[in-house]
Structure 1
Amino acid sequence: MSPVRKIVNDPVYGFITIDHPLILQIISHPYYQRLRNINQMAFAHLVYPGAVHSRLHHSLGAYQLMCNALSELKNKGVVITTEEELGAKIAILLHDIGHGPFSHALEQELISGVHHEAISILIMKKLNEELNGQLDTAISIFTDQHEKHARGGR
């Protein structure tokens, strides 16, 4: 049986609670876990020894900020469906999943003309296949194809 909730102690945002089964499944997936081994700051640690956090750490922080933003928007009366809320959280969680070694520093050197966003979309689509289409809304949000974006966010 997989856990119902995961709590991550983040040095910037404090305790980050992840309690949706699909999000728990995503963060446990090897595609997501590989972000543990990719530095957010590429070679910056050579000059700033404390700049050693990973893309996984960055993505979890971005997830927490998205949770805060969605909560604030809903408190202000913005209508956000449960599906849109989950999609936005997944989109931000996976926004950097396509990064390779050394992040932006070598991005154009590894595959000329291909940015990490394009690779992120490919990985999201592959993960979506494995998860039986449960990432459709997240992908539409990530690629600016969601209906609210197309209508100007109304």
Structure 2
Amino acid sequence: MHRSPDEQWSPPTGSWASSAARRRNMQAIRSRDTEPERLIRRLVHAQGLRYRVAARPLPGLRRTADMVFRPAKVAVFIDGCYWHGCPEHYVPPKTNPGYWSGKVAGNIARDRDTDRRLSEAGWTVLRFWEHESPDACALQIAAMVSKLRPRQT
């Protein structure tokens, strides 16, 4: 929907956006293909490993992992420090703290639930923070996938 510049913006019914600028800012945040994800994927791919990107490890679970190695049953998540409550880097928001802190707490609870469900289904879950060394992450991923990958006879 296109609006004329003089038309006043108002959030859609049920929207949490407090202003047009905030809404644009929040819509611009990437949920996949972030720079840390791309760096780690490039390094893992260079080691000869192949994977699915932004895929559901379990068909009935409406959650996606950043990298999925199906034969090895390894799901990799590269978590953003703000959105997933990094103990080192998370800074509570100054604007609308009740909403945002609740959202981050919900993300953390969902992450733990996802880990539990995947583990119960026989998957290995690897989680990394966006600030961790891509090289170290890629080495850990490659080691785990190599260890768990079914051997071809």
- TM-score, normalised by the number of residues in structure 2: 0.33
User: Would you tell me which structure has more strand in proportion to its own residues?
Assistant: 2
Larger radius of gyration, structure 1 or 2?
2
User: Would you tell me which structure has more helix in proportion to its own residues?
Assistant: 1
